[in-house]
Structure 1
Amino acid sequence: MHWNIKEIDAPELAQWYENKAEGFRIIDVREMNEISGGTVPGADPMPMATVPVRLNELEKDRELVVVCRSGARSAQVCMYLQQQGFDRVYNLRGGMIAWASSGQQVALPRAV
Structure 2
Amino acid sequence: MADLTQEEWTKKLSEDSNAVILDVRTPEEVEEGIIKDAMHIDIYTGQAFVDALQELDKSKNYYVYCRSGNRSGQACAIMNSLGFESAYNLQGGVLEWEGDLS
Please give the range of the TM-score, normalised by the shorter of the 2 chains: 0.7 to 0.9
Tell whether 2:19 aligns with 1:47.
no
> In structure 1, what is the Cα distance between the partners aligned to 2:13 and 2:81?
27
Larger radius of gyration: 1
Please state if 1:28 is matched with 2:26.
no
In percent, how many aligned pairs have the same letter?
A: 29
Whole-angstrom CA distance in 2 between matches of 1:19 and 1:31? 28
RMSD value, Cα: 1.5
Give 5+ residue unaligned stretches, structure 1: 108-112
Aligned residue pairs total: 99
Cross-structure match for 1:110: none
Q: CA deviation at 1:57?
A: 3.1
Partner of 1:86: 84
Runs of 4+ in 1 over 3 A off after TM superposition: none
Describe the SS at the equivalent of 2:71.
helix
Other-structure match for 1:15: 11
Q: Which amino acid aligns with 2:57?
A: E
Give, as a single letter, the amino acid of the residue that structure 2 aligns with 1:7: D
Q: Is the 8 A contact 2:54 2:82 kept in 1?
A: no
SS of the equivalent of 1:80 reads: helix
**Counterpart in the other structure of 1:73:** 71
Deviation at 1:17, TM superposition (A): 4.8
| Shift in CA distance, 35/16, structure 1 to aligned 2, threshold 3 Å | same
Secondary structure of the 2:15 match is helix
Q: Is the 8 A contact 1:9 1:92 kept in 2?
A: yes
Shift of 1:7: 1.7
Normalized against structure 2, the TM-score is what? 0.86
Aligned-pair distance for 1:59?
1.4
